[in-house]
Amino acid sequence: MHTLAQLKSGELAGIQRLSLSAKLESLPLEILNLADSLEILDISNNLLRSLPDELTQLRKLKIIFASNNLFKSLPEVLGQCENLEMVGFKSNQIKHVSGRALPPKLRWLTLTDNQLETLPEALGQRPRLQKLLLACNRLKQLPQSLVQCQNLELIRISANQLSAFPDQLLALPKLAWLAFAGNPFSQSNTCAAAVTEVASSRYTLQNILGEGASGLISKATWNTAQDNFPKEVAVKIFKGVLTSDGYPQDELRACLKAGSHPNLVQPLAQVNEADCLALIMKLIPASYKNLGLPPSFTSCTRDTFPKEFSLPITTITKIVTQMSSVLSHLQSQQICHGDIYAHNTLVDNNGDILFGDFGAASMYHMLNSEQQEKIQCVERRALHNFIDDLLSICAEEDRRTEQFTKLKQACYQ
């Protein structure tokens, strides 16, 4: 994080990324002194309501983050920033988006947790758009023009007010990651597989194991011996009423409906109290590690991996076989996971995987058969991308094997 004093003194001359959080009510024009270098501007967690027209002078600007401010509309000056690719205005008070506010080179747009009821048809006129995050708004429909977004790969529309599934999305040739739970059209009376409900007072949280968009996962031990559960478990406590992916209750239902599979993290019980919603799971052995890393600004929708990391083709094939089995199981339960990624996959030294994180999951049994088939195609496309990402880290000596060729061909079927 940088300071306003550093900016005004000229100390930050030549930097490519600037992060300012200082209860700003207006953007300091000293930022214009960085016009020849600044590519990423993070002005989140301020009190901003507008941006100056002079922002266009930041001719190298590619990414802007302005989450947790007071914007009521997406600033139209953004649409005049010719090199701007990524726009993030999460958790503001945005009710209106003009087509003039959308940069011509837009690839990644985040408007999660605002007050949007509509979006402009101009959104479909941004051919480079790959990633669109719209969860937790008040959208009643999506622009029909989205059918023109032939490069759109990921969209989140959970926790909105959509009365019908937006079929224009299912015509997109590259769409692979889709989340739509928590809309009127996706309401369900189907009961998920029952698991025991327990009181939060029956266990004690220990060390934190991980944190996702929807909750915090901790190791826990029972306060008294439990005949039906292991001594040590993992507890995921969901955050609040809404998360960046939608409603925690939808995630819990999808996870329970998924049921049991050898490669899924196993749910054991749930906590359903007024001030605590939690999922109690089997503790994952310490030998399991994340298979990949989340997408970067550059990769946008595709996983990344540590430098120099590689896997033999035999391990990749084993992982792919298991993930294919998981996908078949989820489709038999009419669950769209929405987040099939290596960074959501745990793997041990033997190539055995455990998969979970249902934050973006949606049930689709209430949709018609044609819609269900197309959603399954979307999920299979995610699996193909998953395979393609793993092949990118295949050991060099295995790249000419028959196994490699077969898997590569499967990605392009």
Angle formed at CA 157 by CA 149 and CA 19, multiple of 5 degrees: 85
CA angle 406, 407, 409 (to 5 degrees): 65
Report the C-alpha gap between 129 and 146 in whole angstroms.
Answer: 10
pTM over 0.85: yes
**Within 13 Å of residue 76, how many CA atoms lie on the same side as its CB?**
6
CA angle 243, 285, 302 (to 5 degrees): 50
Q: Dump strand ranges (E) for 168-302.
A: 177-179, 196-197, 203-211, 215-222, 232-238, 267-273, 276-282, 289-290
Residue 283: φ, ψ to 5°: -70, 130
What pLDDT is recorded for position 190? 63
Q: How far apart are CA 328 and CA 308, in angstroms?
A: 32
Average pLDDT over the chain, rounded to an integer: 94
Tens digit of pLDDT for each residue in 143-162?
Answer: 999 999 999 999 999 999 99
Distances (CA, A) of 329 to 168, 183, 323, 365, 413: 27, 24, 10, 14, 21
Domain ranges of the chain: 4-186, 196-282, 289-411
Crossing angle between the packed helical segments 402-411 and 313-332, to the nearest 10 degrees: 40
CA-nearest of 190, 363, 360, 200 to 280 is 200
- 234 beta partners: 219, 281
Which fold does the domain 289-411 belong to in CATH?
A: Transferase(Phosphotransferase); domain 1 (1.10.510)
The dihedral region occupied by 362, where left means phi > 0, alpha psi between -120 and 50, and beta the remainder, is beta
236 is in an annotated binding site: yes
Closest C-alpha among 340, 343, 348 to residue 385: 340
- Integer-rounded Cα radius of gyration of the chain: 23
Beta bridge partner(s), residue 355: 264, 345
Helix (H, G, I), strand (E, B) or coil at 94: coil
Burial call 61-97: b when 16+ CB within 10 Å, e when fewer: bbbbbbbbbebebbbbbbbebeebbbbbbbbbebbbb
Is 111 in a helix, a strand, or coil?
A: coil
Distances (CA, A) of 175 to 26, 132, 141, 294, 382: 38, 11, 18, 18, 8
Strands (E), 20-119: 40-42, 63-65, 86-88, 108-110
Confidence of residue 193 (pLDDT cuts 50, 70, 90): low
Per residue in 223-266, pLDDT (tens digit) is 988 878 899 999 999 887 777 788 888 999 999 999 899 999 99
Q: Is 173 exposed, middle or buried (0-12, 13-18, 19+ CB in 10 A)?
A: exposed
Encode pLDDT of 25-54 as tens digits: 999 999 999 999 999 999 999 999 999 999
What are 262-301's pLDDT values in tens digits? 999 999 989 988 888 999 999 999 999 999 999 999 999 9
The two tokens of residue 395 are 């050991």
- CATH number for 196-282 (one of 3.30.200.20, 1.10.3720.10, 2.40.340.10, 3.30.70.20): it is 3.30.200.20
Backbone torsions φ then ψ of 397, nearest 5 degrees: -70, -15
Specify the amino acid at residue 4: L
Q: So what's the pLDDT on residue 214?
A: 79
- C-alpha to C-alpha distance for 184 and 43, rounded to whole angstroms: 34
Residue 196 has pLDDT above 90, yes or no: no
Report the amino acid identity of residue 342. Answer: A
Written as six digits, the tokens of 30 are 């000293």
Kindly report the number of other CB atoms within 10 A of residue 328's CB atom. 12
Q: Of how many residues is the chain composed?
A: 413
Angle at 47 (CA atoms; ends 44, 53), nearest 5 degrees? 80
Give the whole-angstrom CA distance, residue 233 versus residue 216. Answer: 14
CATH for 4-186 (3.30.1330.60, 3.40.50.300, 3.80.10.10, 1.10.1760.20): 3.80.10.10
**pLDDT score for 192:** 56
Query: Is 119's pLDDT higher than 60?
Result: yes
